[in-house]
């Protein structure tokens, strides 16, 4: 009996919507825009979260980066930090001998340029470092071949470990290991290939990198490029390790007690703080647009339902005369309001899936199933809220007065 009544209300609602297609379409536009806003916002944030976690995998919670620059330091101008003294290779042994909280430390110099083979060139970011670098970046794994040794580093051997992107670009359908590439005027022997890593926050590829021994980098590129120290700590308290390393760096650089640091010790938490601020801004703007659209859409549907009640006043009178209760009338119009909103929600989610798929070609974007279900729930809720007052008014109509209505 209950199921029959529900199905009858649905059929009546669909008939009414079908008879007023254009009016129904206009009434769902606000809901479509609102649900579209919340789904696209959620999709973007979900994609950003996954990209951020993947990009930050190389910056583990126990890794610190020491350089001239302090990330996201609003108190210092870029040119002021640029004029600080450069990092020096001897800091590596000094810090290792002085600190009790360093598990591994590696100098890293960086520059960009072209790497080629048989007149085929590709862009690359070159890193000069030591074998200990792998201990400070455990997410970077060798897919084939090997990393260079301490002897190769000390002798300045012309060997290179290349990223997956370079391997694909220069050695299509070939194994790059034990073959030569050209960097500048010199030939380098490829001894290893790094596993595919993707991009950093969708901005630049992590697979277009070439790692050479630190000694080789210094010999062939002199002092060109930026240098920083990558430190893996052995302490569970990263802040305590940061304080100790800061104190040792001040001693190494012979800074007086009142002198400020002329170096920066950076941690992934700086990225996290900036990322959370960006995510909060996106969510705030999205929430405002969503709330405004849903309010406008809800008011539009409420007005449409008032018009529907007025047009069907005589029908309401006939139904009441035949024994329909006020509750039956209320459920009938609530059902119609919910169906209109539900149609808008389903349409918005369908559009969101299409847009999300297009965006994913340029920027990471994923549509979580939970978000789609949440959007459907919002649509139903708006239907109930928007339809309650009109349906309540319809249920309270006097059957005699309703039958007289023309």
pLDDT over 80 at 322, yes or no: no
Residue 313 shares a structural domain with residue 172: no
Are residues 66 and 34 part of one domain?
A: no
pLDDT for 148 beyond 90:
yes
Domain boundary among 237, 266, 295: 266
pTM above 0.85, yes or no: no
- Separation CA 203–CA 116 (nearest Å): 23
| Cα torsion through 212, 214, 217, 219, rounded to 10 | -130
Q: Assess whether 181 and 313 both reside in one domain.
A: no
Q: Which of the pair, 2 or 125, is modelled with greater confidence?
A: 125
33: confidence class by pLDDT, cuts 50, 70, 90:
confident
Boundary of a domain, candidates 266, 292, 322? 266
Same domain, 197 and 217: yes
Three-state SS annotation for 266-314:
ECHHHHHHHHHHHHHHHHHHHHHHHHHHHHHHHHHHHHHHHHHHHHCHH
Residues 257 and 286 in one domain: no
Q: What is the mean pLDDT of residues 43-66?
A: 72
- Residue 48 pLDDT > 80: no
66 with 50, same domain: the answer is: no
Q: Which helix (H) or strand (E) holds 19?
A: helix 2-19
Question: Which residues, other chains included, contact 238 with Cβ-Cβ below 8 Å and sequence gap of 6+?
Answer: 61, 62, 64, 267
The SS3 of residue 62 is coil
Domain boundaries, position 134: 62-266
Q: In terms of domains, do 198 and 220 share one? A: yes
Contact 331, 392 (CB under 8 A): no
Total tally of structural domains belonging to the chain = 2
Q: Which residues of 375-401 are buried (b: 16+ CB within 10 A; e: fewer)?
A: bbebbeebbeebbbebbebbbebeeee
Residue 138 has pLDDT above 80, yes or no: no
pLDDT band at 149 (very low <50, low <70, confident <90, very high): very high
Residues 277 and 262 in one domain: no
What is d(CA 58, CA 56) in angstroms, rounded to the nearest whole number?
Answer: 5
281 with 379, same domain?
yes
Closest alpha carbon to 379 in 339, 335, 350: 339
Most confident listed range (59-68, 95-104, 378-387): 95-104
Average pLDDT over residues 225-241: 85
Choosing from 243, 266, 289, the residue where a domain stops is 266
In the numeric block, which tokens belong to residue 9?
């209300």
Question: Is pLDDT above 70 for 333?
Answer: yes
For the ranges 169-173, 198-202, 243-247, 388-392, the lowest mean pLDDT is seen at 198-202
Predicted local distance difference test score (pLDDT) of residue 1: 45
Helix (H) or strand (E) holding 366: none
Q: Answer whether residue 201 shows pLDDT above 60.
A: no
Helix, strand, coil percentages for the chain (3-state, nearest 5): 55, 20, 25
Q: In terms of domains, do 158 and 180 share one? A: yes
Q: 397 with 309, same domain? A: yes
């Amino acid at each position: 009996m209950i199921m029959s009544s529900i199905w009858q209300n649905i059929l009546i609602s669909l008939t009414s919507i079908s008879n007023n297609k254009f009016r129904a379409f206009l009434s769902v536009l606000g809901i479509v825009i609102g649900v579209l806003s919340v789904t696209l916002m959620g999709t973007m944030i979900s994609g950003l979260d996954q990209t951020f976690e993947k990009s930050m995998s190389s910056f583990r919670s126990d890794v610190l980066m020491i350089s001239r620059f302090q990330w996201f330091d609003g108190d210092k101008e870029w040119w002021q930090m640029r004029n600080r003294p450069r990092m020096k290779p001897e800091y590596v042994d000094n810090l290792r001998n002085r600190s009790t909280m360093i598990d591994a430390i590696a100098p890293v110099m960086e520059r960009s340029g072209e790497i080629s083979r048989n007149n085929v060139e590709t862009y690359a970011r070159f890193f000069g470092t030591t074998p200990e670098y792998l201990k400070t970046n455990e997410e970077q794994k060798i897919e084939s071949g090997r990393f260079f040794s301490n002897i190769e580093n000390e002798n300045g051997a012309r060997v290179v470990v290349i990223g997956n992107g370079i391997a694909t670009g220069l050695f299509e359908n070939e194994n790059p290991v034990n073959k030569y590439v050209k960097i500048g005027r010199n030939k380098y022997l490829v001894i290893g290939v790094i596993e595919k890593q993707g991009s950093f926050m969708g901005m630049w590829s992590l697979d277009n990198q070439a790692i050479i021994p630190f000694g080789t980098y210094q010999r062939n590129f002199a002092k060109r490029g930026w240098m920083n120290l990558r430190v893996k700590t052995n302490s569970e308290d990263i802040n305590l390790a940061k304080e100790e390393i800061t104190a040792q760096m001040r001693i190494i650089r012979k800074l007086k007690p009142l002198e400020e640091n002329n170096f920066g010790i950076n941690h992934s938490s700086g990225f996290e703080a900036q990322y959370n601020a960006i995510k909060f801004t996106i969510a705030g703007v999205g929430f405002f647009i969503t709330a405004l659209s849903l309010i406008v859409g809800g008011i539009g549907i409420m007005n449409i339902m008032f018009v529907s009640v007025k047009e069907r006043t005589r029908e309401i009178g006939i139904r009441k005369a035949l024994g329909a209760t006020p509750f039956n009338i209320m459920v009938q119009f609530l059902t119609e309001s919910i169906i209109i909103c539900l149609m808008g929600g389903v349409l918005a989610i369908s559009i969101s899936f299409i847009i999300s798929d297009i965006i994913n070609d340029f920027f990471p974007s994923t549509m979580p199933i939970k978000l789609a279900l949440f959007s459907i729930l919002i649509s139903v809720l708006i239907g109930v809220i928007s339809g309650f007052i009109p349906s309540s008014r319809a249920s309270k109509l006097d059957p005699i007065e309703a039958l007289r209505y023309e």
